[in-house]
Chain A
Amino acid sequence: MHELSIAMGIVKIAEDEVIKANVEKVTKIELEIGVLAGVELDSLNFVWKSAVKDSVLEHAEKEIEIVKGIGKCVDCDTEFEMLHIYDTCPKCKSNFKGILRGKELRVKALEVI
């Protein structure tokens, strides 16, 4: 359940930013999570409530943008959608690929008052 650590990391970022911006609290948080990032959204949602309790995020709305996985084959340059980290190139079946998108795990923006 590393999603709890992830959630605590999000809380820390929000708290730091709230202090920096000299505001009171967060009303909305926008996250960007790639399908290959290794985070189960169900687990993240499950731990969210306890993670944000008594923090600046306690009453914040959470919006998650899911980023599709995109890989590029090192052998034949084909770009393809990746649902799993072990997906092979659909054209030449090579295992060698670079992951272009889908590993994102980011706090995009905070709406604060």
Chain B
Amino acid sequence: MCGTCGCGSDTNGPVISKPGEHAHTHDDHHHHHDGHTHSHEHQHKVLEIEQDILQHNKMLAARNRGYFEAKNIFALNMVSSPGSGKTSILERTLADLKESIPFYVIEGDQQTLNDANRIDALNIPVIQINTGKGCHLESDMVFNAVKKLEVRNNSVLLIENVGNLVCPSMFDLGERKRVVIISTTEGEDKPIKYPDMFHTADICIINKIDLLPYVNTDINKLKNYALQVNPNLKFFEVSATKGTGMDDWYNWLKSYGISS
């Protein structure tokens, strides 16, 4: 409660004040007007803003990108629906390459430290961002996480986004490449059902390739749908649990020249 006038608007509303005023606004209630009327001229003014709504996120993403470039940190933003195997791909990749590439991992989930614990078991520096009700990571969360993680120069930073094929597509984190993961059990038309994610990705990993004989997914159709959304996508077909096809993905990672 405000100690000056006794109203209840303390922390949630905007704080707009001139020097010398007490610091909160009263535009949400009009207690001065009770029981009497008066009139005064309101000066309506139009402010031409023309501002991108995502500008704040984009600016901080650009800041991250500059930081990553200066430190030669190769950052990947890994996105997919829940359960397509992001963490399994990470685990396999880290286990197989950790001797040759210095890795850092940021895990994004609404709740729990489960994924960070899986990565920690491999002795890889990891930090978990729990977004609570949030459905995606934003660039300021990554900025804070990177500072806390103390990522060293010449390393690879894997950012596992919140499992969600819609929302993370709009939020640039400052990554060098965006990797979308889709599994064969999700059906071939995901790329056109959720086109924004495929439109903004650079790499598409098709996981659970070992399950193809058991599902009705036509992988060529899947790729054609994805290319229809984004003709520049590069594909890797893998099975993170069996290890199939992982070498091509590893070679792509290694091609950026970061090694221990």
Contact = CB atoms under 8 A, between A and B. Distances in A.
Given A2-B171, A10-B53, A54-B13, A21 B195 contact: no
A32 to B, nearest CB: 9
B13 A55 contact: yes
Contact of A96 (B43, B44, B231): B231
Contacts of A108: 48-50
A25 interface: yes
B196 A85 contact: yes
Contact of B16 (A1, A19, A95): A19
Interface of B: 9, 12-14, 16, 18, 25, 27-28, 42-57, 134-136, 138, 166-167, 169-171, 191-192, 195-196, 199, 225, 227-229, 231
In the A-B complex, the 7 residue pairs with the smallest Cβ-Cβ separation, listed nearest first, are A2-B167, A54-B13, A95-B231, A85-B195, A25-B27, A86-B229, A113-B42
Contacts of B171: 2, 5
Contacts of A9: 53-57
Interface string A7-21: 001101101011101
23 contacts: A2-B136, A2-B167, A2-B171, A6-B54, A9-B56, A15-B16, A18-B14, A18-B16, A21-B47, A38-B166, A54-B9, A56-B16, A56-B25, A56-B27, A85-B199, A106-B49, A106-B51, A106-B52, A107-B49, A111-B44, A112-B46, A112-B47, A113-B43
Interface residues of A, number: 41
A9 to B, nearest CB: 5
Nearest to A2: B167
B46 A13 contact: no
Interface in A30-54: 31, 38, 53-54
A86 B225 contact: yes
Contact of A113 (B16, B44, B48, B191): B44
A58 interface: yes
B45 to A, nearest CB: 5
Contacts of B54: 6, 9, 105
A112 B45 contact: yes
B170 A38 contact: yes
Given A13-B51, A112-B44, 10 more contacts: A1-B167, A5-B171, A9-B57, A13-B55, A18-B16, A38-B170, A54-B14, A85-B196, A109-B50, A113-B44
